[in-house]
Structure 1
């Protein structure tokens, strides 16, 4: 028997996405092959496949005392989402002798299939951050007698799907703020800012429509701006570490004193970024749109609108739902003016006094039995825009019976005897 060597050990996945990457979600089956290429006969004790998924956080803090380091504190935390081990060749036991359960692989290429299911639970999305990461991988390990093991590891991607077509993520986000610049000897007018966006949930590649109003009553020239920020928060041993990164931004025109500026749907595109991570106990990835006014020589006036970056894009039928839920603030997103037109003037719609008297007499003289039902609608339509009548002590349309009775009382010959 000619002893050979292991030329290659590799892991391949059967299912790849449109970007030729192995990507899965919670509950999905994962299948693939472990490929071993040998140049001759190779004695093998075992070949194991291990699938793991781990969220891990780690950072170090040190405190200096003069020229010396007083102490160094390590913060480490780990959460395991997946751990599965399968034996492809040999025995599961690893405590046997070097010759126990030895198999022989002959020269050539050998493939060993594997399959497993991801847990039916909320998995953390694959992520790489400065102080932590969420990683999933398949590791193959080939053990041979009297030789060092051969190992290979291949990572795969897990997406915890976030559907933005939910009422919470379709709700509009809005806010307003005002700031006055002043000192001991002078005071300037306020700077006001109001902004809104059509919904809370977006997916990478979409553009955020920003509706904003900025009014500058101060004595300085200010610039309205908008920026999308990603905030990474890491937790370990009861302590948190936070990092904020700029994802995308845009800038408006400079605003002079006494001027105002409106953004009627200014677009800010979302680049390819990691989805929000909201359920992992040690790593959170959150997003916020910050609309702010850059004030030279002073603190900026800023307004933060929280966002959620999801994986399932907006459905066509959800667009109308999100617009209806926004009530008045959604008028602009529906293509309607934000300020409705004023109602018509009563003076333009009021009818003449003769026409009014004619309608009243016509209604009083009808018994309603053989009348056309549409006449009531005509009456309502005729008078729906009429202003209320002017107050007067004299009835302009007295009852004829009451008028004749009052005239008789005023005659001297009809007065009752004392």
Structure 2
């Protein structure tokens, strides 16, 4: 019997989505094949498959204790959503008898099927963030006597679906604010801001229709603006770490003293982003639309309208016109785009510095939610 070698060890999933990616939801059947190609006869003790899903958070902080001494504090937390194990070849390994119960794979290509069901529980959506991630994967290990195991690992994507066709997410969002600028040498009137959007829930690829009125009675020249922000919050050891990123923004026309401006359905496009993560105990991903007035030399006047980015788009039967008319009455809206089918959406690129450092109002959790 010639001594063969393992040329290929690979994992192939049976079903892929429209983007050629393995994507599943809670309760789905995940199936596939472990492909083994050998160049000659190979003796195999076992071929094992492990599937796991883990949300993990990690960051470090350095603290100064005085006298030029410092220490580093590590913050880590982990939640397991999936753990499945199966043996495709052989039985439980006995390291004391490495030659017992061997299976011989002859030269050529071999395929071994595997399958398992994802738990019916609410799973965290796959996510890659600044200080944490939610990852799901399948790992195959080929064990041979007297040799190191050959291993391969392949990730798959899980969505905890969010249907925006619910009364809460279809409800309009609105607000208004006013502020007066004061200085030693001049009297300045108020700046007023009112803003409305048709609903709270959206999917990537849609555009948010923004209805806005700004009146500038101050002595400054101001600019109405809008920005969509993503906020990631990570929890570990009772402490929260938060990162905010600009996702998309738009700018209105310069508004001189005594003038007003209306947005009658200005469209802010939502780029491919991760859906909101609201139920994971250690990672939250939230979105907020900030409509604000940029005041040079002063604090901006801003309104924060929380959003939920979902995975199931607006149903065709849902009347958009009635939703808009009930929310807003400031004239005809620009024609909205039809929401696309949901695609795999990466989070924005991360940096600690916001390229648009305008002050915004964002809720900052202080403690880890109960687990």
Report the TM-score, using the length of structure 1 for normalisation.
0.77
8 Å CA contact retained: 2:196, 2:328: no
The structure whose residues are more often helix, as a share, is 1
Once the two structures are superposed, residues 52-89 of structure 1 have per-residue CA deviations (whole angstroms, 9 ceiling, x without a partner) of: 00000000011135684421110000000000000001
Q: CA deviation at 1:284?
A: 0.3
State the secondary structure of the residue aligned to 2:319: helix
Mapping of residues 179-258 of structure 1, within 5 Å:
179-258=179-258
Whose Rg is larger? 1
Q: CA deviation at 1:208?
A: 0.4
Which residue does 2:17 correspond to in 1?
17
Q: CA deviation at 1:96?
A: 4.2
Structure 2 segments unaligned to the other structure (5+ residues): 334-371
8 Å CA contact retained: 1:173, 1:305: yes
For 2:181 and 2:27, the matched residues in 1 are separated by: 56
Once the two structures are superposed, residues 223-254 of structure 1 have per-residue CA deviations (whole angstroms, 9 ceiling, x without a partner) of: 00000000000000000000000000000000
| Number of aligned residues | 333
Which residue does 1:6 correspond to in 2?
6
8 Å CA contact retained: 1:180, 1:218: yes
8 Å CA contact retained: 1:323, 1:333: no
8 Å CA contact retained: 1:27, 1:119: yes
Structure 1 segments unaligned to the other structure (5+ residues): 336-418
Distance 1:322 1:152, change over 3 A: farther
Greater shift in the superposed pair: 289-298 or 88-97: 88-97
Which residue does 1:36 correspond to in 2?
36
Distance 1:112 1:255, change over 3 A: same
State the secondary structure of the residue aligned to 1:3: coil
RMSD: 1.7
Which residue does 1:146 correspond to in 2?
146
Which residue does 2:178 correspond to in 1?
178
For 2:11 and 2:285, the matched residues in 1 are separated by: 30
8 Å CA contact retained: 2:46, 2:93: no
Distance 1:276 1:177, change over 3 A: same
Distance 1:190 1:333, change over 3 A: closer
Distance 1:92 1:187, change over 3 A: farther
Distance 1:174 1:39, change over 3 A: same
For 1:234 and 1:249, the matched residues in 2 are separated by: 25
8 Å CA contact retained: 2:181, 2:188: yes
Matched, 1:105 2:105: yes
Once the two structures are superposed, residues 360-415 of structure 1 have per-residue CA deviations (whole angstroms, 9 ceiling, x without a partner) of: xxxxxxxxxxxxxxxxxxxxxxxxxxxxxxxxxxxxxxxxxxxxxxxxxxxxxxxx
For 2:127 and 2:75, the matched residues in 1 are separated by: 19
8 Å CA contact retained: 1:232, 1:244: yes
For 1:40 and 1:173, the matched residues in 2 are separated by: 67
Report the TM-score, using the length of structure 2 for normalisation.
0.86
Q: CA deviation at 1:95?
A: 4.3
Distance 1:88 1:67, change over 3 A: farther
Q: CA deviation at 1:172?
A: 0.1
8 Å CA contact retained: 2:45, 2:93: no
8 Å CA contact retained: 2:76, 2:236: yes
8 Å CA contact retained: 1:172, 1:322: no
8 Å CA contact retained: 1:171, 1:322: no
For 1:26 and 1:237, the matched residues in 2 are separated by: 28
State the secondary structure of the residue aligned to 1:169: helix
Which residue does 2:116 correspond to in 1?
116
State the secondary structure of the residue aligned to 2:189: strand
